[in-house]
Amino acid sequence: MSRESRPDGHPWRTYVVASSPGWIVAGVVTGVLYRTTDLSALPAVLFLSAWIATDLAMYPRMRRYYTSEPAAARIVGEMGTAVSPLAPRGFARVHGELWQVIVTDPIGSLPLGAAVRVCEIHGLELVVEPI
């Protein structure tokens, strides 16, 4: 699958890069303990391996935090409030953000404070319907 066709980008690569500082710190601490104490090599290697294996085992649960999602998928279906009369264009607040909107039903207008639901997104304009 090509890079452009993958909707999630590279979550595995991002997870490994985000986890690597912890692995480096664990390696440095293990190395210091190995050099300054009577810690033998086997427990040191096992500790570092267990640390890295735990991080890698957590990837399936953490993947959603490293996967990007298109704006349309996050906002379509959400509800908002008209902050200006919608006749048929105007402004509405959705998720605390002010959006330029157009109403799907151009026959009537919606008053200030009307509840709307997002149907589609076209660039920076939302297509909404009255609730």
Along the 131 residues of the chain, how does pLDDT read in single tens digits?
A: 344 434 456 888 889 999 999 999 999 999 999 999 988 999 999 999 999 999 999 999 988 888 777 767 788 999 999 999 999 899 999 989 999 999 987 677 899 999 999 999 988 899 999 98
Side-chain half-sphere CA neighbours of 111 within 13 A? 1
Q: What pLDDT, on a 0 to 100 scale, did the predictor assign at position 11?
A: 87
Length in residues, the chain: 131
- Give residues with Cβ within 8 angstroms of 31, minimum separation 6: 44
C-alpha to C-alpha distance for 103 and 110, rounded to whole angstroms: 8
C-alpha to C-alpha distance for 75 and 90, rounded to whole angstroms: 18
User: What's the pTM value of the predicted model, to 2 decimals?
Assistant: 0.51
Residue 10 CB neighbour total at 10 angstroms: 14
CA 88 centroid distance within chain = 32
In the structure encoding, which two tokens stand for residue 71, read together? Answer: 């704006």
